[in-house]
Structure 1
């Protein structure tokens, strides 16, 4: 965790996607057992933007990225499926 120029808390380190009202990340990791902090004021899109632009170490959970990606945005498709 770190604070930006305005004094707002921002996520740092390993970052997971979280929906308000749930006690676990989208990948299934329990927030309490893993010792993760909640950042309800930071959207997942903002966290992805921070990971790309900030010089602070921020690692996005690959399972959470896959869970937030839409079903139509799959990076692969079958060329010749079985009959």
Structure 2
């Protein structure tokens, strides 16, 4: 069996930091390198999303929580990635 691959980031726009590296901005989705769609099922090319293979999904979640960097995290990708900040729980289960 292979090692589980960590998702990277695909985003609708970008900005360049002080070191000259491209960073994601706008609508941010989780993406597994080697595939042509995000974890929520959006095709990368048709949705016009840029790939950021050097930025891990957990780093994008951290940036969205700690800074005002203009990142809007996809809720479906966060749930599929398993590291959502908002956990689901049943409020009133049936007997």
Q: Same fold (TM over 0.5)?
A: yes
**Residue 39 of structure 2 corresponds to residue 26 of structure 1:** yes
CA distance in 2, matches of 1:14, 1:60: 6
TM-score for both structures, normalised by structure 1: 0.84
CA distance in 2, matches of 1:22, 1:48: 21
In the comparison of the two structures, how many residue pairs are matched? 80
For the pair shown, the structure with the greater C-alpha radius of gyration is: 1
Larger strand percent: 2
User: Which residues of structure 1 form unaligned runs of 5+?
Assistant: none
Larger helix percent: 1
TM-score for both structures, normalised by structure 2: 0.74
Secondary structure, in 3 states, of the residue corresponding to 1:34?
coil
**Residue 67 of structure 2 corresponds to residue 54 of structure 1:** yes
**Residue 30 of structure 2 corresponds to residue 17 of structure 1:** yes
Cα-Cα RMSD: 1.9
CA distance in 2, matches of 1:25, 1:52: 21
User: Which residues of structure 2 form unaligned runs of 5+?
Assistant: 1-13
